Amino acid sequence: MREERRGTGRDPLGDMLDSFGRGPDGRSTSIPSGGGVPPWMAEMLNYCARCGTELAFGAIDGEDRDRLGCPSCGYIAYVNPRLVVTTIPVTDAGEIVLLRRGIEPGKGWWAQPGGFLEVDETVGEAAVRETLEETGLIVEPGEIVGLYSRLEAAVVVLAFEARVVGGEPRLNPEALEIRTFAPDDIPWPGIAFKTSYWAIRDWLHRRRPDIHPADRHWDE
């Protein structure tokens, strides 16, 4: 459970924002909330999409933070996080399905299936599609387990609980291994991403509150 923050002497809004930022449960990142565009993203945004002029990062009238803007035509290149849709597939036996990733990032580590939302699909459709692509299993998305921010990767991760209703496990370039795990056998030290850890942990808190996974902390 997130540790309660004490008064910091700042205004209530500042305390509220701080309470939803980095915390002692592993929600750490090298990019502080409100810290601007991650360097790796800025490197891919060199020129204005409208006129081709080189973009500049700095203060812009009417904006509440520094942004990438075009000094020629005034275009502002807003940089927003991408949405990743994932599932925690659950079998009739109450086990969850995880895959050992075959590609970077996280190659060789365990994670739940998931991927980026396409512009022409709903989050439910993305959950079904990504799970089928990565595991060969057909799932029925159910409750939303959680929504998680990962600032340094510029993603927001949506995690569904999903019931396995068909299909057969199928290895592919993205999955070196596909396995089911009982709640008390989840390979916590081998989980690839902090968002995967948080989602599986939060699912477990609902379904098996008697199991308490060891805390993990990331400093990326």
CA atoms within 13 A on the CB side of 134: 30
Quote the CA–CA distance of 135 and 177 in Å, as a whole number.
9
Sign for the pseudo-dihedral over CA of 162, 167, 168, 170: negative
Quote the CA–CA distance of 58 and 67 in Å, as a whole number.
6
Q: Does residue 43 carry a catalytic annotation?
A: no
- % helix, strand, coil for the chain, step of 5: 20, 30, 50
In angstroms, the Cα distances linking 111 to 93, 133, 189 are 20, 14, 11
The catalytic position among 54, 63, 121, 177 is 177
What is the b/e burial string over 89-118, where b = at least 16 CB atoms within 10 angstroms of the residue's CB? bbeeeebbbbbbbbeeeeeebbbbbbbebe
In angstroms, the Cα distances linking 7 to 3, 13, 25, 87, 192 are 13, 12, 19, 37, 34
Residue 108 backbone class (left: φ over 0; alpha: ψ -120 to 50; beta: rest): left
Tell me if 198 sits within 8 A of 218, measured CB to CB: no
Active site residues: 177
